[in-house]
Amino acid sequence: MGFVFCGGGPAALGPVIAAARKGRLDDLLDRGIALVEPGPIGPGGLAHYRISANSLGGPFLECLDGLSDSAPFAALRDLPETRRLRAHSDEHPPLSVVAPFLTRLGAVVSDLLAAHPRCTVVPEAVAAIELADDGVVVTTGSGRELTAERTVIATGGRPLSGFGTAGIVPGLDLLPHRDKVWHSESFIDARKPLPPVRGKAVVVGGSHSAWSVVHLLAPEADEITVIHRSGLRLFYNSPDEARADGYPFDPVLDVCPTNGRVNRYGGLRGRAHELARAALRLPGTGPAPARLVQVTDPAALEAAQRALAEADVIVMANGFEANLPPIHRTDGTPVSAAVGPTGTVVTAQGHLVDVHGTAHPRLLAYGLGAGLAPSAEVGGEPSYTRRADGVWLYQHDIGGIVLDELLHNVTTTGEIHA
Ligand SMILES: Cc1cc2nc3c(=O)[nH]c(=O)nc-3n(C[C@H](O)[C@H](O)[C@H](O)COP(=O)(O)OP(=O)(O)OC[C@H]3O[C@@H](n4cnc5c(N)ncnc54)[C@H](O)[C@@H]3O)c2cc1C
């Protein structure tokens, strides 16, 4: 077996879709893949989020562009789920419209694997991963052992550990307020019980998740304050569009050199963009949905401290780390992944980095909580310091990087050879 894919969400499907688009599907499948996923293949967590997409509907469908009519994914073009999503091509669709399309996409991948003599789909959870010098052994919940050259770990994310007591800036942290702190996931993910909301709410962070929570809290909360450290980043198609909107940006650091977009990765889009525009009181916006406190000076620090002290509920939107299964070496020593402020650390090729700083080419990890740092290959604005994430990237640039990795050889010493 060439590879075990742990998880079957949008990230795991990326290299398969990238392979189909590059005419390398047979190369990939002929190496042998076992895809281990206990739930539906395709939509992952996006099937459960109560919010709209941060991308337009069109980019979700670009994976079907340019394929020959006989390509396996081409048959998806005229399905009802695809047509429904296509109706939202130029707007931000509810994720409940995106998920059925991704489920159809997943079904094609599942059928491809099931039909290939060297591939299989295992409808179970991964319980553990053993890292040996010459490969990996993935053990499933039922005790089945799958031996492979490498494993792709795309099992989604979980809230960054310690989020409930995290420091925001020096002099401002959540520790004294930990009993009323929730992670943004608790409000967005329908699999989690919805926390009670009343009175004054504070949201910490300036991301898509943070503004999605503002939207979800608005009907219940009496007052919402958003505490953020750096200036709010809004996405625009071009510098001219940003200027026309009165949005201040850095013409070099905030503009993607690859496609000229302003805040291509870090910028808020869709509803989050509109809410943040209103909070910033940009021209033509309605009432501000939240009070903004950007913690840049002592007065703002004091205002933020007061808001936290008076809040009935605090929502931390500081992101995710990878939800990795336990990983150990053959002698039982655990392999503990390094986690930084933006999630689990992986190299630009997706090699998992452990707490000692060693990168493991046999353990490829990416997806929610373990995005690749932007590089020349994936572009992005130079000021963006977080991780590159999103379904389009998994299916195109990041999927291509992981595909190239998989189609390389790994020696017993873990070095990669073309
Ligand atoms: C609130 C929010 C909104 C987002 N909105 C968008 C958006 O609009 N557009 C966009 O492009 N991106 C969006 N993203 C970013 C990203 O595309 C999604 O998070 C996406 O779901 C990540 O895919 P994934 O495969 O990494 O993880 P997931 O979607 O979480 O999928 C992980 C899969 O692994 C499986 N799994 C988990 N544990 C195991 C195990 N032990 N063994 C085997 N399988 C396991 C799960 O069942 C699941 O199917 C959003 C992220 C968040 C947090």
102-150 pLDDT per residue, tens:
999 999 999 999 999 999 999 999 999 999 999 999 999 999 999 999 9
Helices (H), 116-174: none
In 3D space, the residue among 257, 276, 295, 254 whose CA is nearest the CA of residue 385 turns out to be 254
Q: Are residues 136 and 105 in the same domain?
A: yes
> Which ligand 1 atom minimizes the distance to the CA of 157?
30
Identify the three-state secondary structure at position 386. Answer: coil
pLDDT at 68: 81
How far apart CA 223 and CA 284 sit, in angstroms, is 22
User: What's the whole-number mean pLDDT along residues 9-38?
Assistant: 96
Instruction: Name the one residue in this structure whose structure tokens are 């709209």.
Output: 52
Q: Answer whether 39 contacts ligand 1 (Cβ < 6 A).
A: yes
How far apart CA 229 and CA 186 sit, in angstroms, is 22
* 112, part of any domain: yes
30-67 pLDDT tens trace: 999 999 999 999 999 999 999 999 889 999 999 999 88
pLDDT at 410: 62
Q: Are residues 46 and 125 in the same domain?
A: yes
Q: Answer whether 202 contacts ligand 1 (Cβ < 6 A).
A: no
**Whether the predicted interface score ipTM is above 0.90:** yes
Token reading at 55? 């991308």
Q: Are residues 124 and 187 in the same domain?
A: no
* 239, part of any domain: no
How far apart CA 111 and CA 409 sit, in angstroms, is 26
* 185, part of any domain: yes
Token reading at 130? 């053993």
The tally of domains found in the chain comes to: 2
Using a CB cutoff of 8 Å and minimum separation of 24, what contacts does 69-74 make? 71/20, 72/20, 72/25, 72/108, 72/111, 72/112, 73/17, 73/20, 73/105, 73/108
- The CATH number covering residue 335 comes to 3.50.50.60
- H or E stretch at 352: strand 351-353
- The CATH number covering residue 302 comes to 3.50.50
pLDDT at 415: 43
271-322 pLDDT tens trace: 999 999 999 999 889 899 999 999 999 999 999 999 999 999 999 999 999 9
Q: Answer whether 276 contacts ligand 1 (Cβ < 6 A).
A: no
Q: For a pLDDT cut of 70, what percent of the chain falls above it?
A: 97
pLDDT at 413: 42
How far apart CA 90 and CA 153 sit, in angstroms, is 32
Q: Are residues 118 and 25 in the same domain?
A: yes
Q: Answer whether 6 contacts ligand 1 (Cβ < 6 A).
A: yes
Mean pLDDT, the chain, whole residue set: 93
342-400 pLDDT tens trace: 899 999 899 999 999 999 999 999 999 997 777 766 778 888 887 778 999 999 989 99
How far apart CA 383 and CA 252 sit, in angstroms, is 9
Phi, psi of 157 (to 5 degrees): -125, 170
Question: Where is the domain boundary, 316, 349, 378?
Answer: 316
Confidence of residue 412 (pLDDT cuts 50, 70, 90): very low
414 has a pLDDT exceeding 50: no
* 305, part of any domain: yes
* 87, part of any domain: yes
Going across the sheet that includes 126-132, the strands are: 145-148, 135-140, 126-132, 327-329
In the chain, what is the straight-line distance between the N-terminal and C-terminal CA atoms, in Å?
A: 19
Identify the three-state secondary structure at position 287. Answer: coil
Instruction: Name the one residue in this structure whose structure tokens are 């986690």.
Output: 339
Q: Are residues 291 and 354 in the same domain?
A: no
Instruction: Name the one residue in this structure whose structure tokens are 């071009």.
Output: 238
Q: Could you tell me which residues are beta bridge partners of residue 201?
A: 224, 313
Residue type present at position 146: L
Q: Are residues 287 and 366 in the same domain?
A: no
Q: Are residues 67 and 141 in the same domain?
A: yes
Compute the distance from residue 320 Cα to the ligand 1 centre, in Å.
11
Q: Answer whether 56 contacts ligand 1 (Cβ < 6 A).
A: no
pLDDT at 409: 63
How far apart CA 55 and CA 90 sit, in angstroms, is 9
**What residues make up the domain containing 154?**
3-158+320-417
Confidence of residue 227 (pLDDT cuts 50, 70, 90): very high
Question: Where is the domain boundary, 277, 296, 316?
Answer: 316
Which of 98, 368, 378, 394 to probe ligand 1 with, by most ligand atoms within 8 A of CB?
368
Helices (H), 54-195: 57-61, 80-86, 95-115, 185-188
* 250, part of any domain: no
169-207 pLDDT tens trace: 999 999 999 999 999 999 999 999 999 888 999 999 999
Confidence of residue 213 (pLDDT cuts 50, 70, 90): very high
How far apart CA 396 and CA 289 sit, in angstroms, is 35
Q: Answer whether 9 contacts ligand 1 (Cβ < 6 A).
A: yes
Instruction: Tell the residue nearest (CA) to atom 10 of ligand 1.
Output: 390
**CA neighbours closer than 13 Å in the CB half-sphere of residue 323:** 18
How far apart CA 273 and CA 20 sit, in angstroms, is 34
Token reading at 404? 């190239």
Token reading at 142? 């039922």
